[in-house]
Chains A and B, each alone.
Chain A
Amino acid sequence: MLPKPDTFPIDMAPLKSDLSMPYTLTPGRAAGAFLAELGQRRIVGSRFKKSGNVVVPAQDFCPLSGDSEFEFVEAPATGTLTTFTETAEGLIGLIRIDGSDVDFPHRLVDTSLDDLRIGMRVEAVWADGIDNSILAIAGFRSSPNAPVGMIRPLTDPAQAVEVIPYRLDLHYEHAFGPYYGRLFDEIKTQRRIMGVRTPDGEGALLPPREICDVTHRPTGTWVEVKQTGTVRAMSIINLEFVGQKQAPPYIYAEIMLDGALTRLIHTVSGFDMSRAKELVKPGTRVRAVWRETQTGSLDDISHFELIDADAK
Chain B
Amino acid sequence: MRNSRNLNMDRVAVVASAQTELRPRWSGAQHVDLISAVVASVFKGTGLSIDDVDFVIDSGSDVLDGRSISNCGFLGAMGAHHKEESRVEEDGLWAALYGTTKIAAGGAQVGLIIAYSKPSESDVNLFYSSQCEPFYQRPVGFDHRAASGIQAQRYLAQHGRTPADLARITAKRWSDAARHGRVQIASLPGESDVLSSANVAAPLRALMMARPVDGAVAVLLASEEIARRTQRKPVWITGMGASTDRHSFAARKAGALEACEVAARSAYARAGWDKPGASIAEVSASSAVSELMVLESLGLAVPGRGMDLLNGSGNTAINLSGGALPADPIMATGLVRLSEAVRQLTCPDIYGLESPSSAIVHGAGGVGMQAHCVMTLEI
Contact = CB atoms under 8 A, between A and B. Distances in A.
Q: Do A and B bind each other?
A: yes
The SS class assigned to the A binding surface is: mixed
Interface string B37-64: 1111100000000100000000000010
B250 A177 contact: no
Interface in A149-182: 164, 166, 168, 170-181
A296 B139 CA distance: 38
B343 to A, nearest CB: 12
A134 B139 contact: yes
B76 interface: yes
Nearest to B118: A175
A63 B136 CA distance: 14
Given A94-B250, A170-B63, A209 B140 contact: no
A2 B120 CA distance: 20
Given A85-B201, A166-B134, A118 B157 contact: yes
B352 interface: no
B246 to A, nearest CB: 6
Given A31-B135, A164-B135, A175-B121, A90 B29 contact: no
Contact of A2 (B18, B82, B122, B251): B18
Contacts of B329: none
A218 B135 CA distance: 49
B76 A135 contact: no
B33 A210 contact: yes
Interface in A115-173: 118, 133-135, 139, 164, 166, 168, 170-173
Contacts of B36: 5, 209-211
B211 interface: no
B150 A83 contact: yes
A3 B38 CA distance: 9
Interface string B131-154: 000111101111101100110111
Contacts of A170: 63, 66, 122-123, 126, 130
A88 B145 CA distance: 9
B202 A85 contact: yes
Contact of A177 (B29, B139, B200, B249): B29
Contacts of B251: 63-64, 102-103
A86 B81 contact: no
Contact of A211 (B40, B120, B134): B40
A245 interface: no
A87 B146 contact: yes
A210 B123 CA distance: 28
B26 interface: yes
Nearest to A17: B66
A134 B135 contact: yes
B157 A177 contact: no
A14 B29 CA distance: 10
B202 A113 contact: yes
B256 interface: no
Nearest to A132: B135
A214 interface: yes
B86 to A, nearest CB: 18
Given A209-B32, A211-B36, A213-B76, A135 B139 contact: yes
A89 B141 contact: yes
Contact of A172 (B19, B26, B122): B122
Nearest to A93: B150
Contacts of A14: 27, 121
Given A1-B182, A105-B250, A133 B139 contact: yes
A88 B130 CA distance: 17
Contacts of B21: 1-2, 4
B357 interface: no
B28 A211 contact: no
Interface string A5-29: 1100110001001010000010100
Nearest to A169: B126
Contact of B140 (A27, A105, A164): A105
A55 B351 CA distance: 51
B134 A2 contact: no
A57 interface: yes
A171 B123 CA distance: 7
Given A85-B146, A85-B149, A94-B150, A19 B66 contact: yes
A87 B143 contact: yes
Contact of B121 (A57, A84, A106, A172): A172
B272 to A, nearest CB: 32
Given A87-B201, A177-B30, A213 B75 contact: yes
13 contacts: A1-B21, A5-B28, A10-B28, A14-B27, A85-B202, A87-B146, A133-B139, A172-B121, A175-B26, A209-B76, A210-B33, A216-B76, A216-B79
Given A175-B30, A177-B32, 16 more contacts: A83-B150, A85-B150, A87-B201, A89-B146, A90-B141, A105-B136, A105-B249, A106-B140, A164-B135, A175-B120, A177-B33, A209-B77, A210-B33, A211-B36, A213-B75, A214-B81
Interface of A: 1-6, 9-10, 14, 17, 19, 25, 27, 31, 34-35, 57, 63-64, 82-90, 92, 94, 102-107, 113, 118, 133-135, 139, 164, 166, 168, 170-181, 209-214, 216, 218
Interface of B: 18-21, 26-30, 32-34, 36-41, 50, 63, 66, 75-77, 79, 81-82, 118, 120-123, 125-126, 130, 134-137, 139-143, 145-146, 149-150, 152-154, 157, 181-182, 199-204, 246, 248-251, 254
10 nearest A-B pairs in the assembled complex, by CB-CB distance: A85-B149, A213-B76, A89-B141, A6-B28, A177-B30, A63-B251, A5-B33, A172-B66, A103-B250, A105-B142
